[in-house]
Amino acid sequence: MKGPRMGAHTDRHFIERMRWDDVARRIGDGAAAILPIGAAAKPHGFHLPLNTDRIQAEWLAGKLAEPFDALVWPTLTYGHYPAFVEYAGNSSLSASTFEALVREVAAAILASGCRKLLVLNTGISTLAPVDRVLARLDAGRVKHVWIHGGPRYPRAAKALAEQSHGSHADELETSLMLAIAPELVDMARAEASPAVKHATPGPLTPSDSNSPNYSRSGSYGDPTRATLAKGETLLAAMLDDLNEQIGAFIVKGPAASHQPDAIQTVLR
């Protein structure tokens, strides 16, 4: 795999860098839309920046937009992230507020005339809220895709992981960031979290060392085991999964006709 870090994505895909009439023309030509969801203020250990999810979401959205000539909407950087409220800088909306945000943005994209909308999600706690929102929209025009979905990525992760536990700012996510934006990773500050007593932890805490969910750094797992080679393998598997899912969705039959009345009902 030749350098996932190579090259910047062109301004042809990110609407925030385009003029409105160019966006309108592309929509009229049938361009699908991608809405990335990635936190810009969520702790990721001592070694990764708070906008780690946003970086991944926008990098992936740009790569996925290229083969399908899709349009990428501005990233939703505020979301429902209740597991990190004790860490400085964390911003978390209630589930209901986050759902309202996704609902209105998604409905507006569909109302603009985009034939298909793909919601690209980098989170875990955001999965159920987004599912609830999209279930109320036209199933033929919207699709929710999680970047860690399979089948290739889970197999690669299982084969490569050396850590005993993890799911956040861990060996795998840190490896991905080494492949996407190595200049932002400070491996000298990477710190493993203690083993937890439960398979799935509750909200992490940096202050209560007696808690089963204690993590001084805000990571959950062992980022010290991360490598660029692992990141490149994981990223290739992730892109293969996403391209397959997105391709099947975008090329599948003509989308249902635009229905403003239904969209207005969703917004109420």
The pLDDT tens digits for 4-29 are 443 344 678 999 999 999 999 999 99
Q: How many domains does the chain have?
A: 1
Residue 268 lies in a domain: no
Residue 162 lies in a domain: yes
The residue segments making up the domain with residue 111 are 15-254
Residue 96 lies in a domain: yes
Joined tokens for residue 53: 């999810």
Residue 266 lies in a domain: no
Alpha helices by DSSP H, 127-205:
127-134, 152-160, 171-180
As a whole number, the mean pLDDT across the chain is 89
User: Taking a C-beta distance cutoff of 8 angstroms, is the pair 148, 123 a contact?
Assistant: no
**224 to 54, 169, 207: CA distances (angstroms):** 22, 10, 22
- Identify the pLDDT of residue 196: 66
Residue 193 lies in a domain: yes
State the pLDDT confidence band at 212, using cuts at 50, 70 and 90: confident
Give the separation between CA 78 and CA 42, rounded to whole angstroms.
9
pLDDT at 3 over 90: no
Residue 134 lies in a domain: yes
Residue 23 lies in a domain: yes
Mean pLDDT for the stretch of residues 140-166: 96
- Identify the pLDDT of residue 199: 58
Residue 4 lies in a domain: no
CATH of the domain at 247: 3.40.50.10310
Alpha helices by DSSP H, 88-198:
95-111, 127-134, 152-160, 171-180
State which H helix or E strand residue 261 sits in: helix 260-267
Q: Is the bond into 67 cis (omega within 30 degrees of 0)?
A: no
